[in-house]
Amino acid sequence: MDFPDYIHRFLGYRNGGFKEHIEEIRGSSSLFEALQSGLEKLSEWAPEEISGLIQNTGKNLEIKGKQLYHPLRLALTNEEQGPDLPIIMFVMGKEASSSRLHKWVEIIRSRES
């Protein structure tokens, strides 16, 4: 896959918007909220710091492996696979990453009520 095939990850969602995977990540609002909170507290915006945050968030919530990374990838990129999430988040920026997680929390909550 060439870079143009990945550019949509950084500029916005494709393939019908960000609601495409709602059933797959319905129970992930606590993960998204915890990660969003952690993003705000990061002192340095670097892939290594983002990776550590994701791992620590998973450890704190007792989530690991696919249960940790799959919902995050879907929420952030609307894709099943791709480059490492910390790299994607680094390129997207803190504000865009946080905004996408926040949108998912709102969507999940609206469907729970």
- Distance from C-alpha of 4 to C-alpha of 7, rounded to nearest angstrom: 5
Q: Which CATH architecture has domain 22-112?
A: Orthogonal Bundle (1.10)
DSSP annotation of 80 reads S
State yes or no: pLDDT of 1 exceeds 50: no
pLDDT > 70: percent of the chain:
77
Q: What is the pLDDT of residues 24-47, one digit of tens each?
A: 677 898 999 999 999 999 999 999
The total of other beta-carbon atoms located within 10 Å of residue 110's CB is 8
Report the predicted TM-score, pTM, of the whole model to 2 decimal places.
0.80
* Secondary structure percentages of the chain, helix, strand, coil, to 5: 70, 0, 30
